[in-house]
Structure 1
């Protein structure tokens, strides 16, 4: 089994509604996302001969995923009032609503799902809120096919 791993970054704010601690307050991180993909067969066409996937493609796809969060407020859909969202929007702030609480664990799964949807056989995704705090997600079904 061959594996490739690449890393992306984004800066974003979030908060954990209903959490009894300081993370209930709006705060930001310099997030780091690592994606590890796998496959058993290397490509044979001349351009990609000997590669599982072109690193350039993998990096571009991860960058696109990270760019969707960069310099935004990540929040769980429904956790802000319409009035608050309208006020933020009128001030030029951009947010990114997601269907789950914006924890590192949930973001790891969201990135895994997005990269899987792009055709990658994802082995593991790691999301770092800080250099020392990381959550990972590994899909149960590793036999997904893909790139």
Structure 2
């Protein structure tokens, strides 16, 4: 029966940011222990029954996050002209991860970013 498999991983990083133009405390520099969840869809399994190895997804996410960990996100070139919000960060990570993992049968479906447990956003293509 045709179908779509979904692989999921969770990772973490710590970073600070400032929300320029925000009317409130978040206009000041502050940090989060960000939680990142990545969902990858696979339409085909290999001879072992694997769509994409968890290790491959985890390594890609860890490598991308290592460039953000313990940084000031506003100084990252990706956020020169936009605030590094949960929303823009989820899009940034979605794009980076898609560049690394997408193939004919493997596609990044969604990336969720939480600033704190129970508070965050996600990005997926329409």
Check whether TM > 0.5.
yes
Instruction: Point out which structure has higher relative CO (alpha carbons under 8 A, 6+ apart).
Output: 2
Give the distance between the partners of 1:98 and 1:114, measured in 2 at CA: 11
RMSD over aligned Cα, in angstroms?
A: 1.0
Q: How many residues align?
A: 117
**Equivalent position of 2:113 in the other structure:** 127
TM-score by length of 1: 0.76
Runs of 4+ deviating beyond 6 Å: none
| Residue equivalent to 1:69 | 68
TM-score, with normalisation over the residues of structure 2?
0.89
| Distance apart, 1:139 and its partner CA | 1.2
> Which 10-residue stretch deviates more, 21-30 or 114-123?
114-123
Larger Rg: 1
Give the secondary structure class of the aligned counterpart of 1:105: helix
Alignment partners' CA distance in 2, 1:34 and 1:139: 16
Q: Confirm whether residue 108 of structure 1 aligns to residue 94 of structure 2.
A: no
SS of aligned partner of 2:84: coil
Q: Is 2:42–2:52's contact at 8 Å kept on the other side of the alignment?
A: no
Preserved CA contact (<8 Å) 2:15 2:31? yes
- Which stretches in structure 2 are left out of the alignment for 5+ residues? none
